[in-house]
Amino acid sequence: MESTAQLAKKAIELRPTERIRLVEAILYSLDKPDADIEKSWIAEAEARYEAYKRGEIDAIDWDEIRKRYER
């Protein structure tokens, strides 16, 4: 197997679009979703949506939120 330095040297010689695809492939291989966490996020999102529909929480317009964080 090639060393990391050898692989990096080969990667640097790739065209930019090929390097991007390589980086995406590597990052994707590291991103292993946890099913329990995914279920928790779904349950939280659904609970918040139901609370919104019942009038228990208010929604804030996206443009207003974006303005708060613009620099």
Report the alpha-carbon distance of residue 48 to residue 2 in Å, rounded: 49
pLDDT per residue over 14-29, tens digit each? 999 999 999 999 998 9
Q: What residue spans define the domains of the chain?
A: 1-32, 33-71
Residue 36 has pLDDT above 90, yes or no: yes
Q: Are the C-beta atoms of residues 48 and 57 closer than 8 Å to each other?
A: yes
Q: What is the pTM of this model?
A: 0.49
**Long-range contact pairs involving 32-41 (C-beta distance under 8 Å, separation at least 24):** none
Residue 47 has pLDDT above 90, yes or no: yes
Predicted pLDDT at 1: 85
For residue 7 the two structure tokens come to 């692989």
